[in-house]
């Protein structure tokens, strides 16, 4: 692999967190809309969009924490 995830700067990890939050929010809105449908397909789509929203939220939280830790390391000259 030509690069390692540890090569990213702190601000890149925070941008990843913002992107994951946007994906999570959009999928959450789609899940809420699909849950209103009274059909089997609507229930399946609500579950799938909800799962993607949850996973994106967890990934965004992890990226945020990593960005904050790398920012602290950068700020204190590490």
Q: Which domain holds residue 33?
A: 11-75
Q: Is the pLDDT assigned to residue 63 strictly greater than 70?
A: yes
Phi, psi of 39 (to 5 degrees): -145, 165
Q: Is 5 inside a domain boundary?
A: no
Which residues lie closer than 8 Å to 52 by C-beta, 6 or more apart? 23, 27
Whether 1 shows a pLDDT value over 70: the answer reads no
As for how many domains the chain has, the answer is 1
Query: Each residue of 5-50: pLDDT tens digit?
Result: 888 999 999 999 999 999 999 999 999 988 777 788 888 999 999 9
* Whether residue 68 has pLDDT greater than 80: yes
Q: Is residue 36 part of a domain?
A: yes
Predicted confidence at residue 5, as pLDDT, reads 80
| pLDDT, tens digit, 9 for 90 and up, residues 41-60 | 888 999 999 999 999 999 99
């Amino acid at each position: 692999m030509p690069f390692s995830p540890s090569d990213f700067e702190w601000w890149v990890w925070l941008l990843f967190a913002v992107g994951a939050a946007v994906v999570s929010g959009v999928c959450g809105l789609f899940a809420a809309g699909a849950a209103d449908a009274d059909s089997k397909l609507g229930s399946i789509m609500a579950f799938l969009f909800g799962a993607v929203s949850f996973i994106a939220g967890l990934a965004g939280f992890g990226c945020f924490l990593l960005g904050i830790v790398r920012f602290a390391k950068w700020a204190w000259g590490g």
